[in-house]
Structure 1
Amino acid sequence: MARAGSMFGVLLLALCLASPLAAQPSERAARERLDAIGEEIQGLSRRLSSTRQARDAADRQLREVETALAETHRRLDTLQAERRELGDRIAALETRRDALQAERADQLEALDAQLDALYRLGLTPQLKLLLNQDDPARLDRLQHYLNHLAKARNERLDALARLDSALADNRRELEARGTRLDALAEELAGRSAELARRMAERSELVAELDSRYTTEQARLADLNQDRAHAERVLREVQEELARLERPPPSTAIEQTQGELPWPVQGSVASRFRRGDGVHRNGMLIQAAEGTPVKAVHAGRVVFADWMRGFGNLLIVDHGDQVMTLHAHLQHFGVEVGQAVSRGDTLGAVGASGGHDTPALYFEVRRGGEPIDPQSWIASR
């Protein structure tokens, strides 16, 4: 589902302006380069798979459950979107059906009027024409009227045939859409039941993980281990990106410092250097579960997987050695290697990683080092 998004719009525009006559080959070459970058990034993510191992059986189980939950949420979102689209289409079809039926009724009424006029002339108006030759002008008018009546009647009959055909098509499509809607409702019910089961399983696992801590110090020590593990992974991501044969071009993110939009609207639960464990290097924004998380700037997804402490973690590289991290996602809306534009939906707010409160953890890194996200996003 990779898209050649607007993150490299400046590059493509420059290529086009530099050589108007060769705009199409230049644009094609740029797109091929971006596709190659996407493939390299996908390979990077595969090479980092060994760094995504959990510490023990409980963590591994949590990862499995939360990964399954993310897929269930993603599928539910897809099904809900399809159901809404089907509902809209069915409503449009019903409106069209009503219009066709009203038009058919009008045509029938007009045809009845024509037949009534013909009936008033008698069963054999042509014979009357032959017998009434005493008034040639009247004869000519009557013949003209009969011809007009016959033509109008044939047109009405043709229109009715077309309307009947359109109504039949409309009924068939409505039946097909209705059948699909029933199937969607059945799958939604199944997925919802699966979601409830998985959430109960997750709650048990989180309780099991929490029971390991006898003191607050033990919990903080574990959180700091998670942060140290994440730092190692992020360094590897940065190093791998630096070694790419085709490094991602600049997206001019440096020029937007202090003007970037918030990835999600909500209350700030912890700020840069004030949070615990994995939250220390960024900010934690509380928001309702399922709230869309938006890309703050154009870039390319370089990581989208579960990581202990972070849960579902998504990293976007913006070029110029700047990356943004989005953690505790309910599910992912994009894939590794995919180009994203400012405002694109990356996923949804969740509580993955064993957390009990839905929130988005957001972090900005430059040259591999964390920097205060609030120095980059717009004040509010």
Structure 2
Amino acid sequence: MSKAFPRREGVCRLLPLVLWLAVTPAMAVTDEREAQQRIDAIGERIQEVTRELDATGQARDEASEALREIETSLAETHRRLDDIQAQRRALNDEVIELEEERKRLEAERQEQLAALEQQVDALYRLGLTPQLKLLLNQDDPGRLDRLQTYLNRLAEARNARLAELDRLDTALDDNQQALDERGQRLEQLAGELEKRSAELASQVDEREALLAKLDERYATKEARLSALDQDRAHAEQVLQQVQERLARLERPPPSTAISETRGDLPWPVQGKVTSTFRQGRGVHRDGMLIRAAAGTPVEAVHAGRVVFADWMRGFGNLLIIDHGDGVMTLHAHLQHFSVEVGAAVDTGQTIGVVGASGGQPSPGLYFEVRRAGDPIDPQSWVAQR
């Protein structure tokens, strides 16, 4: 395993560069868009190198690599399903608004028809040829003028009603077309949702079979814990080297005043804490494990920038946020990510959802707080509840 560390150092040399680019003031880069592209490109390179490393002898065996592949695919499927559901909710809201608009238009059309019927009835009472009657009845010129003015206004009002009815008919046609289009899109999404759901079920079954295969490798619980300790040590070396290089930067990441919020940070997710700081062994030793339902949103506890978002052995889908002042928060076993490397996040922003990646038997969020590379009890940072 030691032979792989020099290559891992290559990853660590890139990670601080992502942090530096992400937090350097705008004056250091003349083109902000170009700077963001550079951040994205470096972030992608980090992900590629990490995958290459885990595909070599540093990965325990083919089963571990297979777990990475299936859980990465599961994350993408879950993300796509969430996107489809969000689109369906948005379209359903649009359909409701369009149907309400249609009711309003139809009611307005009925009002215009009723008003037009009254005008036609008034003309009918005057007879079929009111203008001729007016010309024949010239005994009162003033009355003639008044009746002619009335007829003119009645005609103008009738024409206005007819024009308004034409407008309403056009609006109703447009409304119906929009409803038809939304209906067709909803049918497409339903088909895609069914396809993705079947794909998800197949991937879940594949993952269960793979986990059973992985479990067969451990004759005892002690053997499993030993393997998890190796995963934790592997991640520990990576994080430690990242922190050391950050400390040597000429321009360190800016402060987000996270130190001032110690003891008052919001929880990343609500749930039951089943493993606390330094309790037991394995990958959960340096933080706390919060059990929550799969798919529950995970929120950033403080402003910062995403410096890592990828699958890591033992931790599954792992997302790391740098908050400045040498403080980082780690979020593991995510079902999928909602943000990418280089993205700035605000307090309370959704960064992913609870999952069971990393071979976990049940869903939950593993949460760590590190300062200057050293793990700190996260319960001393989050607010009491």
Counterpart residue type for residue 353 of structure 1: G
CA, structure 1 residues 46+368, in 2 after alignment: closer, same or farther (shift >3 Å)? Answer: farther
Out of 349, 358, 361, the residue aligned to residue 353 of structure 1 is 358
Counterpart residue type for residue 358 of structure 1: P
2:86 is the alignment partner of 1:81: yes
Counterpart residue type for residue 59 of structure 1: S
Counterpart residue type for residue 295 of structure 2: G
> What whole-Å deviation, never above 9, does each CA across 1:115-173 have from its counterpart, x for those lacking one?
11111111111111111111123212211210110111011011111111111111111
Distance in 2, Cα, partners of 1:245 & 1:36: 22
2:258 is the alignment partner of 1:261: no
Whose relative contact order is higher, 1 or 2, with alpha carbons under 8 Å and at least 6 apart?
A: 1
2:246 is the alignment partner of 1:237: no
Distance in 2, Cα, partners of 1:64 & 1:134: 100
Out of 353, 364, 379, the residue aligned to residue 374 of structure 1 is 379
Distance in 1, Cα, partners of 2:321 & 2:38: 13
Out of 308, 323, 330, the residue aligned to residue 328 of structure 2 is 323
1:309 alignment partner, SS class: coil
| Residue matched to 2:276 | 271
| Residue matched to 2:8 | none
Q: Is the 8 A contact 1:287 1:360 kept in 2?
A: yes
Stretch of structure 1 that moved more, 198-207 or 243-252: 243-252
Q: 1:320, CA displacement in angstroms?
A: 1.1
| Residue matched to 1:178 | 183
CA, structure 1 residues 256+217, in 2 after alignment: closer, same or farther (shift >3 Å)? Answer: same
Q: 1:33, CA displacement in angstroms?
A: 9.9
1:63 alignment partner, SS class: helix
Distance in 1, Cα, partners of 2:279 & 2:75: 29
Stretch of structure 1 that moved more, 244-253 or 27-36: 27-36
Out of 220, 223, 238, the residue aligned to residue 218 of structure 1 is 223
Q: Is the 8 A contact 1:226 1:278 kept in 2?
A: yes
- In structure 1, the gaps of 5 or more residues are 1-10, 16-24
Counterpart residue type for residue 123 of structure 1: L
The size of the alignment, in residue pairs, is: 359
Q: Is the 8 A contact 2:54 2:65 kept in 1?
A: no
Q: Is the 8 A contact 2:335 2:355 kept in 1?
A: yes
| Residue matched to 1:363 | 368
2:338 is the alignment partner of 1:333: yes
Q: Is the 8 A contact 1:45 1:302 kept in 2?
A: no
Q: 1:31, CA displacement in angstroms?
A: 5.9
Distance in 1, Cα, partners of 2:163 & 2:27: 54
Counterpart residue type for residue 136 of structure 2: L
Distance in 1, Cα, partners of 2:71 & 2:62: 14
| Residue matched to 1:107 | 112
Q: Is the 8 A contact 1:314 1:325 kept in 2?
A: yes
TM-score, normalised on structure 2?
A: 0.88
Identity %: 65
Matches within 5 A, 1:307-318: 307-318=312-323
Q: 1:276, CA displacement in angstroms?
A: 2.2
2:331 alignment partner, SS class: strand
Distance in 1, Cα, partners of 2:198 & 2:251: 45
| Residue matched to 2:10 | none
Out of 167, 170, 193, the residue aligned to residue 165 of structure 1 is 170
Stretch of structure 1 that moved more, 86-95 or 244-253: 244-253
Q: 1:233, CA displacement in angstroms?
A: 2.2
> What whole-Å deviation, never above 9, does each CA across 1:317-374 have from its counterpart, x for those lacking one?
1111110000000111111111100011011111111111111000001111111101
- In structure 2, the gaps of 5 or more residues are 1-22
1:150 alignment partner, SS class: helix
| Residue matched to 1:193 | 198
Distance in 1, Cα, partners of 2:288 & 2:133: 95
Out of 67, 87, 100, the residue aligned to residue 72 of structure 2 is 67
2:358 alignment partner, SS class: coil
Stretch of structure 1 that moved more, 289-298 or 130-139: 130-139
1:98 alignment partner, SS class: helix
Distance in 1, Cα, partners of 2:301 & 2:138: 89
1:233 alignment partner, SS class: helix
TM-score, normalised on structure 1?
A: 0.89
CA, structure 1 residues 71+91, in 2 after alignment: closer, same or farther (shift >3 Å)? Answer: same
Counterpart residue type for residue 88 of structure 1: D
Stretch of structure 1 that moved more, 52-61 or 224-233: 52-61
Q: Is the 8 A contact 2:29 2:35 kept in 1?
A: no
